[in-house]
Chain A
Amino acid sequence: MTFVSIRDLKVAFDGVHVLHGIDLTVARGEAVGLVGESGCGKSVTWLAALGLLPGKATVSGSVTVEGQQLIGAARASVEAVRGGRIAMIFQDPSSSLNPVRTVGRQICESLALHRGLDGRARRAEAVRLLDMVGIPDAARRVDLYPHEFSGGQCQRVMIAMALAGEPDLLIADEPTTALDATIQAQILDLLSTLRRETGMAMVFISHDLGAVGAICERVNVMYAGRIVESGDIAPMFERPRHPYTQGLFDAIPRLDGTRNRLIPITGTVPDPRRMPDGCAFAPRCTKASAFCTDTRPDLKPQTDGRDLACFHPVAHQQTVAGEERRRIPA
């Protein structure tokens, strides 16, 4: 059952278009990844959907939460969705918490807003949430300020705050990028445990394919303000079909096997003010034809169940089941 449906979402900053029509859905309880490099619009998509972009952004299109339209809706009705039905956590946990309020007060704010709790019960619930996300000595530390917590603990506090509203969907925007490797592993584990226990849906925004793969069932790959490929995670990770998705996989160094030269994607992301006429990836694509530079491919459903925006997708030979996971170079 579709919980959130985004249709033709477009965003421009001061007249420069950064999102060119995003279509995506999140079903109840599912975990969807949104992958891409910096500037591709993966964070902007969800900030726009929840009306969290600064005033200079112009947003058009449609975002519905169980039929309720958010774009252009009254401020109060969007505020009721934020934190309650859809919660969001961010990349830099330390600066995402208000430095002059105790973490307890910041969590209690959400509890008052979405659960109508007050007094003792509210405080007890705040402590319970902190305890649940793995803050040791929660009953005492609930009265501390954010600067008295480490980066990883701040992210746990952020997660506790997001859970306070008992949301149906949690948007995690690069939640582990700023954290150390062992802490990153803890947070990923916490997020997947919480999802299993609460049954909430999750959107995991990240540039890290590995982290997305560990958490999500479905993934959307974005490039220059568009979704270029989306589908179930296992087949897509085994056989990426868009040359950009394939390029991302090739560019990641491996932790096992032989130490080969990396295969980078040549060139850089196009300037949003000077977007190519055709496929935005064509200037960096090894498979691009003249047709690709003139005509833009639309995101279309494929026979294998995924969506793809490419005229010359990567062809895959049948791989030996269970063996080498890497695709055959194009």
Chain B
Amino acid sequence: MSALLQARDLVRCYEGPKSLFGKSPAVRAVDGVNLTLRPGETLGIVGESGSGKSTLGRMLLGIDPPTSGTVAFDGEAMPPLQSPRWRALRAQMQLVYQDPLAALDRRLTIADQIGEPLEIHRLAKGAERSERVRDLMAQVGLRQDQGDRYPHELSGGQRQRVVIARALATSPRLLVCDEPVSALDVSIQAQVVNLLRDLQESHGIAMVFISHDLKVVRNICDHVAVMYLGRIVEEASSDEIFAHPLHPYTRALVSSVPIPGKPLTGRILLKGEPPNPAQRPAGCAFHPRCGSAKPACHVAAPPLEPVALARRAACHLLVSPQDHAA
């Protein structure tokens, strides 16, 4: 199957604060990311704050233009921002993010918000539109009488359902979810995670699921990419990566998740904090915090290379010397 979304060498730089004495060096928020998403597939992107995962998500949608590199949707290059073709493409790809209250217009009723994309993209109007809105509300588990309510009258979980319904209105082929359940309580989070899974299965939507919550990512995603300081450090199937993490950072990340009934001892504790992207360490960006860093790690940044079947990782310790020589 051909790729629905293909990202090549994506780089996004942000200018440092301007000064009278010339520009300070640019911050590379995303630094050379390659990704492929097949139709109907769910790709998880995990990482800590500052890893560039949200910036990557916006670039995949074409909302944030890359500094260099390309994004192709359905085999065609992403049209320039705000061009007519770009706007038409919005119907195909939608974004769901963390704070549903900020994503909703507090002066519009729920039904109006869900119907808005249908109007923008001239997909349905009048009775047909109301019918479609009722259908969408039912799909995300909202009661019909809630259509006349305003966002502040709903709970956090219900608001996120509204955002999801609105995103689904145009029958998109790609959904990028940026921390969609992070603001929700555990019991409600499970409702929304199940909803996303169901919708994805029934509609065959491809999904990019950005989150810092490994447990949720594992539950919902087929494939997972781990980001550290703007780069992908490991990529594998969801089952593999959490059961047998290879990259030292992934190992620490997986081990840091507190599991009920599991004591603290034996966990991998990383030294220090993720470095500032403006001061990227030389060599492997992870080496200052890595427990098994070798001299080579201080010098050269390891490329993302296949380390096993359908797995890639960027670590000097995982690739044998012969591979390097080759």
Contact = CB atoms under 8 A, between A and B. Distances in A.
A contacts B: CB pair < 8 Å: yes
Given A37-B185, A188-B258, A255-B254, A180 B274 contact: yes
Contacts of B79: none
B190 A186 contact: no
A70 B297 CA distance: 57
A252 B264 CA distance: 19
Given A252-B186, A264-B190, A210 B260 contact: yes
Nearest to B220: A253
B183 to A, nearest CB: 9
Determine which residue in A136, A153, A189 has the highest number of CB atoms from chain B within 10 A of its CB, and name it.
A189
A255 B215 contact: yes
Nearest to B215: A253
Contacts of B252: 182, 185
Nearest to A262: B190
A188 B264 contact: yes
B243 A182 contact: no
A194 to B, nearest CB: 13
Nearest to B271: A186
Interface stretch (A52-60, A161-169, A243-251): A243-251
A234 B261 CA distance: 7
A28 B3 CA distance: 61
A20 interface: no
B188 A213 contact: no
A215 B238 CA distance: 29
B259 interface: yes
A238 interface: yes
Interface in B247-266: 252-264
A213 B262 contact: yes
Interface stretch (B67-75, B129-137, B191-199, B308-316): B191-199
Interface of B: 48-49, 155, 157-158, 185-191, 193-194, 197, 212, 214-216, 218-219, 238-239, 242-243, 252-264, 267, 269-270, 272-274
29 contacts: A37-B185, A37-B187, A152-B273, A180-B212, A181-B212, A181-B214, A182-B252, A182-B253, A185-B269, A188-B258, A207-B186, A210-B259, A210-B260, A213-B258, A213-B261, A213-B262, A214-B263, A214-B264, A237-B260, A249-B260, A252-B186, A255-B218, A255-B242, A256-B243, A259-B218, A259-B219, A259-B239, A264-B188, A268-B188
Top 9 A-B residue pairs of the complex, sorted by shortest distance between their CB atoms? A210-B258, A264-B190, A185-B256, A265-B187, A180-B48, A253-B219, A251-B190, A37-B185, A262-B190
Interface of A: 37-38, 136, 150, 152-153, 180-186, 188-189, 192, 207-211, 213-215, 234, 237-238, 247-256, 259, 261-266, 268-269, 325
